[in-house]
Structure 1
Amino acid sequence: MSNLENGDSNTQIPQDRKNFNLFRYNSPIIQIILIGLVCFCCPGMFNALSGMGGGGQVNSTASNNALTALYTTFAVFGILGGGIYNILGPHLTLFAGCSTYVLYAGSFLYYNHYQHQFFAITAGAILGIGAGLLWAAQGAIMTSYPPENRKGTYISIFWSIFNMGGVIGGLIPFILNYNRGDAPATVNDGTYIGFMAFMSAGAVLSLTILPASKVVRDDGTRCTHMVYSNVTTESYEILKLFYNWKMLLIVPAAWSSNFFYTYQFNHVNKPQFNLRTRGFNNVFYWGAQMVGSVAIGYVMDFSFKSRKKRGVVGICVVALLASGIWGGALANQIKRDLGVIMDFKDSGSSYAGPFVLYFSFGLLDAMFQSMVYWVIGALANDSEILSRYAGFYKGVQSAGAAVAWQIDNHKVSGMAQLIVNWVLTSVSYPLLLVLVVLAVKEDNKGEEEQAKQVAPSSVENGSVR
């Protein structure tokens, strides 16, 4: 492996590549920023809506049922999404996916007036289909477009932009509901309309994403040599994932990676704080995700020269941090007074502990998911392969989430949910370590050589022929 591939910034760049423009439209960094902005507008705002607990409603039943429907269809279309992306390409896949977010937010605007669950549940099921498409496409882009020695950095850039959506989304209910008093309340219509406006912008922005064959790295390689696939090939390749030992080792991490949202949103944020404080907390929860993604991105890309060693260290760092945070959650669960609803202005020191815990949950979520995406991205470089891997990950992840929301609907105690979450995430770390040790190579040079199909002149000029 050359010094340049190891990330040595002092290496001399060949003369014909010194004039490369990092910010040309067909560069990986610009495409990662664009997909980050798409997710800022759509799943970022969805996260802010969900993070308020109960979709902003006093009663969580409608939200829980809608989310169960969502993650049930997401589980199916998450797995199928990689194959659909390989057939349709990014424009159709992303636009179709983003459009469903607008419908979901609109269903809660409708629920605010009529209190009928059917529309929300139906919109949730449709959103599950769309989210499967969007996240499969996003996973393929985020793991295959960057250079292999900077995947952690690019993942952290994406995750920071994406979670800024949660920060802004948290400000919307905080500002619009600031003066509504301390009594339990649903969010106002303006909150849902604000979410819908952002989500509509994300759907339009998704049309700016380039297909992998037109994205060119600074070393002259295209991001893939993929030729769009067909239904028969994709069906066969997707079925193979279910007995691929690499994917089987990822299953516990995938299952647990959205399972804990139910506990965090409905048993930490919702029951302990009033409406405006929940919005305030969400600003910091999603802000913590930006910090966490940058921190773990540095570890995964720069902590050691060996990529395999960086993977091992990154997993161990996340595992140790998770143990401390879940231990803090246990202490909070034991000592909290269920009859007290806190406000960030009036509760003083009693507010500090639960706030720090909720902030830490956001930090851990970003570090956990960025770490898993890094591991997936280290298994290959090709967009066609990684779209299937990412789709499998999101499918299993969504199946876990569907189960988690229904568990909450059946009034399972917060303590029981906490313990299950702690155990599930803890089981995933040793399996990920095994995967890194056995499957991650120091580079994927053979695959990279197949992708070198572009002349330096076309890269320098930003050509996207």
Structure 2
Amino acid sequence: MAPAEKTSPTSGVDTPEHQHNEPEHFVDADGNISLPQGWRYKITKIGKYRLWYASPQIQVTLVAFVCFMCPGMFNALNGLGGGGLLNHKAGNDSNVALYSTFAVVGFFAGTITNRIGVNWAIGISGLGYAIYVASYLVYKHTANLGFVVFAGFLLGCCAGVLWSAQGVIMMSYPTEKNKGRYIGWFWVIFNLGGVIGGLVPLGQNIHTTANTDVSDGTYVGFLVLTTLGAVLALSLVPGDKVIRSDGTKVILMKNPTWKSELVGLWETFFTDPYILLLFPMFFASNWFYTYHFNDVNGAKFNTRTRALNSVLYWLAQMVGAAIFGFLLDASAFRRTTRAKAAWGALMVLTMVIWGGGWAFQKTYTRAEVTAGLDTETLADDYQTYDWTDGGYIGPMFLYIFYGMYDAIWQTCVYWYMGAITNNGRKLANFAGFYKGIQSAGGAIMWRLDGLGTPYVNMFASCWGLLAGSLLFALPVILLKIKDTVPVEEDLKFSDETVDDVYAHTKVDGVA
């Protein structure tokens, strides 16, 4: 964003009356920014950096820890295959309800987020994750399928709103030059939740070489963490209180109403019709989870090895997000060049990693894996891998690369959306579209798995959809991503002005 011309402070801007009208900030005669009064803007020095609570750095970190404890525990639970249950029916039925609801609510989640604010959107939604975890614990002891399915339905409503609000924070709060790093930073902390969540069942089941349900303690640990995440979300500040390191504010609607945001949802399609070409990438981004969790990890490995694989999967996500988050912000190259290079990297990784997956998938079938599960004796069950088995290392590395690939895909998709616009209101809708369409794909895939679709068909659908969606996205990457987006362009989708969001200079000492 090119700096605007410096201006003199507004007359009377430093009067006591004006100082209490936060979150106004002003430029003095020397071009320095004075932050508003209040605890949100109290500066803390960390080395050469100066941070305040209502800064993008702090807010992105907070929402990352919320997702660490809520969606992170959800990912850890589902990463065990079947939600930690040996019989996958409850998990499949619950996730069909979850993703079906998510697909509908997610589409309108940007409207809800823009109206009630990111802090309330995330705080209320976080409770859905705690109820979802509790339903699996109840099911293990009572076989109450209705409660598990209801919990999935409820979480679909909650998760759609949470991820829309998270998308606003991650994509619109940073400056243009830092978006890749912030997305990577978020993804590292978020997936640390999957790592910690995987360590819990690993520690509790480390001596369990049989193929069994995870222990009650695993579910209790997840329940405590998801509840804490919902509470932490309430510490986020509203988006209109955030001031960036360059002095600018997030572009939002000053006076959002339900009517204005519903109209804005549909206006997004008219102002940015090219977003439709990214929909296949959105659709593909959760499609492969069912295959990874149930048809690879849940099918081929015993309880303790599934837990280890889950830890490695989410740890690889942290590595992939950190690397690509840094590369996407590499200032040595123009943003348009980085966008094209990222697309090329995604295509190469899709061919290489999923090509390796094809070699592994040819070694087993669903019919072989499910043979003997309906009988009481374990002798006729499929022989799953333990980490002590000689053939484990190859599949282990494949699963690691599957995790890294997922993080790279998600990081690039978020970065592409953030490169198109800096408008928080529009990005809320983009994030809602992304999560809604993503969840529609997830719902279909969970249902296909529940119907017993052959593993090879599940695999082929993943590989084909990922490669094909990249071809659809290429025109957007070539034609719509620019080196920068003028602030005047971003303001067209809001009721704010340049003076509302642009303070013209950088806060001294902040990187």
TM over 0.5, yes or no? yes
Task: Note if 1:393 corresponds to 2:434.
Answer: yes
Q: How far, CA to CA, are the matches of 2:351 and 2:482 in structure 1?
A: 29
The match for 2:320 is 292
The match for 2:402 is 361
The match for 2:385 is 342
Distance change (3 Å), C-alpha of 1:458 and 1:2: closer
The match for 2:128 is 100
The match for 2:37 is none
The match for 2:279 is 251
* Partner SS state of residue 301, structure 1: coil
The match for 2:9 is none
Counterpart contact for 1:143–1:386, Cα < 8 Å: yes
Distance apart, 1:24 and its partner CA: 1.5
The match for 1:11 is none
Distance apart, 1:245 and its partner CA: 2.4
Q: How far, CA to CA, are the matches of 2:384 and 2:217 in structure 1?
A: 24
Distance apart, 1:77 and its partner CA: 1.1
* Partner SS state of residue 302, structure 1: coil
Task: Note if 1:160 corresponds to 2:188.
Answer: yes
* Partner SS state of residue 187, structure 1: coil
* Partner SS state of residue 216, structure 1: coil
Q: How far, CA to CA, are the matches of 2:509 and 2:135 in structure 1?
A: 46
- Name the one with the larger helix percent: 1
Task: Note if 1:194 corresponds to 2:237.
Answer: no
The match for 1:42 is 70
The match for 2:205 is 177
* Partner SS state of residue 58, structure 1: coil
Q: How far, CA to CA, are the matches of 2:501 and 2:212 in structure 1?
A: 58
Percent identity between the two aligned chains = 41
User: Which of 91, 106, 109 is equivalent to 1:63?
Assistant: 91
Q: Deviations over 1:375-432 (max 9, x none)?
A: 1111111111100111011100001100000000110011101111101010111222
Counterpart contact for 1:321–1:364, Cα < 8 Å: yes
Counterpart contact for 2:246–2:506, Cα < 8 Å: no
Q: How far, CA to CA, are the matches of 2:352 and 2:202 in structure 1?
A: 29
Task: Note if 1:318 corresponds to 2:319.
Answer: no
User: Which of 103, 106, 116 is equivalent to 2:144?
Assistant: 116
Q: How far, CA to CA, are the matches of 1:217 and 1:451 in structure 2?
A: 15
Counterpart AA for 2:460: I
Which has the higher mean CA deviation after the structures are superposed, 313-322 or 404-413?
Answer: 313-322
User: Which of 334, 337, 340 is equivalent to 1:306?
Assistant: 334
User: Any gaps of 5 or more consecutive residues in structure 1?
Assistant: 4-13
Which has the higher mean CA deviation after the structures are superposed, 243-252 or 168-177?
Answer: 243-252
Q: Deviations over 1:20-49 (max 9, x none)?
A: 854211111111111100000000000000
Q: How far, CA to CA, are the matches of 2:506 and 2:325 in structure 1?
A: 30
Alignment: residue pair count = 450
Counterpart contact for 2:251–2:501, Cα < 8 Å: no
Distance change (3 Å), C-alpha of 1:451 and 1:65: farther
User: Which of 103, 113, 125 is equivalent to 1:75?
Assistant: 103
Q: How far, CA to CA, are the matches of 1:370 and 1:316 in structure 2?
A: 14
User: Any gaps of 5 or more consecutive residues in structure 2?
Assistant: 4-29, 35-42, 370-381, 491-496
Counterpart contact for 2:246–2:505, Cα < 8 Å: no
Which has the higher mean CA deviation after the structures are superposed, 38-47 or 223-232?
Answer: 223-232
User: Which of 471, 476, 479 is equivalent to 1:438?
Assistant: 479
Q: How far, CA to CA, are the matches of 1:278 and 1:61 in structure 2?
A: 18
User: Which of 269, 282, 286 is equivalent to 2:297?
Assistant: 269
Distance apart, 1:452 and its partner CA: 5.3
User: Cα RMSD over matched residues?
Assistant: 2.4
Taking structure 1 as the reference length, what is the TM-score of the superposition? 0.92
Counterpart AA for 2:91: S
Q: How far, CA to CA, are the matches of 2:487 and 2:140 in structure 1?
A: 56
Q: How far, CA to CA, are the matches of 1:186 and 1:415 in structure 2?
A: 26
Distance apart, 1:218 and its partner CA: 1.3
Distance apart, 1:321 and its partner CA: 1.0
Distance apart, 1:91 and its partner CA: 2.1
* Partner SS state of residue 340, structure 1: coil
* Partner SS state of residue 335, structure 1: coil
Task: Note if 1:16 corresponds to 2:64.
Answer: no
Which has the higher mean CA deviation after the structures are superposed, 313-322 or 44-53?
Answer: 313-322
Q: Deviations over 1:297-335 (max 9, x none)?
A: 122110643111111101111110121110011000112
Counterpart AA for 1:257: S
The match for 1:137 is 165
Distance apart, 1:225 and its partner CA: 4.4
Distance apart, 1:17 and its partner CA: 6.3
Q: How far, CA to CA, are the matches of 2:298 and 2:331 in structure 1?
A: 38
The match for 1:222 is 249
Q: How far, CA to CA, are the matches of 2:319 and 2:76 in structure 1?
A: 17
Q: How far, CA to CA, are the matches of 2:412 and 2:135 in structure 1?
A: 34
Distance apart, 1:438 and its partner CA: 1.5
Q: Deviations over 1:217-238 (max 9, x none)?
A: 1111012243142222222222
User: Which of 401, 422, 425 is equivalent to 1:381?
Assistant: 422
Task: Note if 1:53 corresponds to 2:81.
Answer: yes
Counterpart contact for 1:52–1:269, Cα < 8 Å: yes
Counterpart contact for 1:263–1:418, Cα < 8 Å: yes
Which has the higher mean CA deviation after the structures are superposed, 230-239 or 366-375?
Answer: 230-239
The match for 2:463 is 422
Q: How far, CA to CA, are the matches of 1:249 and 1:366 in structure 2?
A: 21
Distance apart, 1:434 and its partner CA: 1.0
Distance apart, 1:183 and its partner CA: 2.1
Structure with bigger gyration radius = 2
Which has the higher mean CA deviation after the structures are superposed, 283-292 or 225-234?
Answer: 225-234
